[in-house]
Amino acid sequence: METGKLGVLVDSDALISLIQSDNNQHKLAKTVLLFLKEKNADQYISPFTIPEVSTMLSYRANQEIAKQFVISSQSKKLTTLEIPEEIRRKADQLFLAQTKKRTSYFDCVNLVLMELFRFDAIFSFDSIYKEHGFKLASDLL
């Protein structure tokens, strides 16, 4: 992440919100994306984000939309972070400590990445990030 530049981790729910126009967060997601582009923010994803989004799109929409997403994601300005074993172990520990039903392992990975890389915000609409003291990208508007 460049010094003095806005750094944002992008979560799968934000990408799904951008793609699916009938999504409740679609309009806000488009506003946040425009803001991030205007600020020339560096945008990062975990190596799990593209597979997670493509799987969710295949389930929620259809396989063709999922395939289009995979193809288009190759040209996006999203930097994929590497996940060393230390981060995986921390994510495992965080996931194992959760007690709520429907806990996402991928959110646990993102929480560890947020802590490790000290991103300015996460582009997501999931409440878990605020519960852990992180800013959502929508809070920057």
How confident is the model at residue 4, as a pLDDT? 76
Provide the residue ranges of all domains of the chain, joining segments of one domain with +. 7-136
Do 78 and 44 touch, CB atoms closer than 8 A? yes
The model carries a pTM of: 0.93
pLDDT score of 37: 95
Alpha-carbon gap, residue 40 to 45, rounded angstroms = 16
**CATH code of domain 7-136:** 3.40.50.1010
d(CA 31, CA 26): 9
Per-residue pLDDT of the chain (141 residues; tens, 9 = 90+): 666 799 999 999 999 999 999 999 999 999 999 999 999 999 999 999 999 999 999 999 999 999 999 999 988 889 999 999 999 999 999 999 999 888 899 999 999 999 999 999 999 999 999 999 999 999 999
- Give the span between the Cα atoms of 126 and 141, in whole angstroms: 17
Within 10 A of 118 (CB to CB), how many other CB atoms are there?
Answer: 10
Look-up of token digits 């996940």? 83
| Rounded Cα distance, 132 and 135, in Å | 9
Q: What pLDDT score does 1 carry?
A: 64
